[in-house]
Amino acid sequence: MGDARLDLTRDRESLVGLLRKRGLSIKGLDEKTREDLRQFLDYLCNSRGLSLNDVAKLVGNKTSGYTSWVCKQLGVAVRPFEEARLKGIREKRRKYERRPFDGTDADRAYMLGLRHGDLSVSRPWRGVVRVSTSTTHPKMVQLFRSLFEPYGHVYQHPRYKKDTRTYEWNISVILDDSFSFLFQEFPEVESWLMGSDSRVLAYLSGFLDAEGSILVTHNVRGGIVTFVDYFNENKRLLEWIRDRAKRMGLGCSLRVNKPVGRGKTGFHLNHNKEYWQLSIFGARSIIGFIQSLAPRHPEKVQRRLLALQTEGKTKYEEVSYLVISLRTSIRNEVLEFVKLAETSYLERHPNPTPLTE
């Protein structure tokens, strides 16, 4: 062990450089260097009260998992995560504070519908909930931010998908543990949803925003036809929605949209599960059903308004220009957003896998 105390003013830069070293081996360090590094980390974590994440940021190119590993290797005791987090907030060192869920039952039902359709949830460490999704739609990012930014910081990063050789955006947020209800799967909340019509409609609205669409088209006679479509691998869930729709006097068609096996359209991916489509329709009652839904996804809001504008009209030609305009606008927004993802990804990754071969 070194005879002298660590001189932080002299040795800090060299120790930070050591922590940045790729493939650092604690066992391979000489005894004095190992002790200097232990004193340095003990000072940061216990004297200064920095969290493992703060230390990782100080190092510059590491994660809290890495700093945790180094501390364990050197025998440096660190404070529990929650204690460090609260201390950081009190001292205004931590940039983002997580706030507890304070929404209504309808908000909770809506979020569950969105979660069961499109969101991934995990627990990266005790006491927090991570929510994430990937998308090519700018309006989905807008929705995600509007929902979760009041409760935590939303991260957004470009992503390259090797299987499809396409670009998209990944968005995520670390939330307070009060969002643990998002871990509940549909069978766990079915009876709770059924206890209130407002919860059912909120859930259907959230699921629509995740895995649904409102479609205005025409039949062979040039008349207006309006559908509400839901898509998912969970047939049981779609059957539940079908039963709710039938009780409202609506017509329904549940069928396989993509079978198991090699896909014949899109990116030609293999499907491990059947992907189902539920179409809801009804010449006299579909508008009332659409009116009862309250989507928050800006694109779905636009589609809902378009569908409501068809009320009282019979010929598709009366609304065709609105349908085409909306469809073109959505397509152009997605293309621009994907291009931005590609540009941003290539700026961060100098040697990416090429989009085309």
The domain in which residue 299 lies consists of 189-336
Helix (H) or strand (E) holding 216: strand 212-218
pLDDT of residue 162: 86
133 and 202 belong to one structural domain: no
Predicted confidence band of residue 42 (pLDDT cuts 50, 70, 90): confident
Which tens digit of pLDDT belongs to each residue from 300-337?
999 999 999 998 888 999 999 999 999 999 999 999 99
Mean pLDDT taken over the chain: 86
75 conformational bin, left if phi > 0, alpha if psi -120 to 50, beta if neither: left
Q: Any idea what the Cα angle at residue 95 is, between residues 93 and 100, rounded to 5°?
A: 115
Residues 224 and 239 in one domain: yes
Q: Is residue 87 pLDDT above 60, yes or no?
A: no
> Is residue 70 located within the same domain as residue 34?
yes
**Which carries the bigger pLDDT value, residue 70 or residue 254?**
254
- The count of domains in the chain is 3
Task: Give the pLDDT confidence of 160-208 residue by residue, as tens digits.
Answer: 988 888 999 999 999 999 999 999 999 999 999 999 999 999 999 999 9
Same domain, 166 and 201: no
pLDDT of 353 above 60: no
- For residue 344, being part of any structural domain is answered with no
Which helix (H) or strand (E) element contains residue 217?
strand 212-218
Does residue 125 sit in the same domain as residue 14? no
pLDDT digits (tens, 9 = 90+) for 146-161: 999 999 999 999 999 8
DSSP structure class, residue 223 = B
From 64, 90, 116, give the residue that closes a domain. Answer: 90
User: pLDDT-based confidence at 113, cuts 50/70/90?
Assistant: very high
**98 lies in a domain?**
no
Q: Identify whether 277 is part of a domain.
A: yes
For 36, the 3-state DSSP assignment is: helix
**Which of 341, 334, 287, 290 has its CA nearest to residue 312?**
287
Are both 266 and 215 inside the same structural domain? Answer: yes
Answer yes or no: is 355 within a domain.
no
| 315 DSSP β-pair partners | 223
Q: What is the CATH number of the domain that holds 143?
A: 3.10.28.10
Kindly state whether residues 229 and 332 are assigned to the same domain: yes
User: Lowest mean pLDDT: which of 35-49, 301-315, 333-347?
Assistant: 35-49
Determine the pLDDT at residue 122. 96
User: What is the C-alpha separation between 245 and 311, in angstroms, rounded?
Assistant: 20
Asked if the structure places residue 160 within a domain, the reply is yes
Same domain, 267 and 160: no
Q: Could you tell me where the DSSP H helices lie in the chain? A: 8-20, 31-42, 52-59, 64-74, 81-90, 105-118, 138-148, 186-194, 197-211, 235-247, 286-292, 298-309, 320-348
From the list 312, 319, 322, 249, the residue with the least C-alpha distance to 286 is: 249
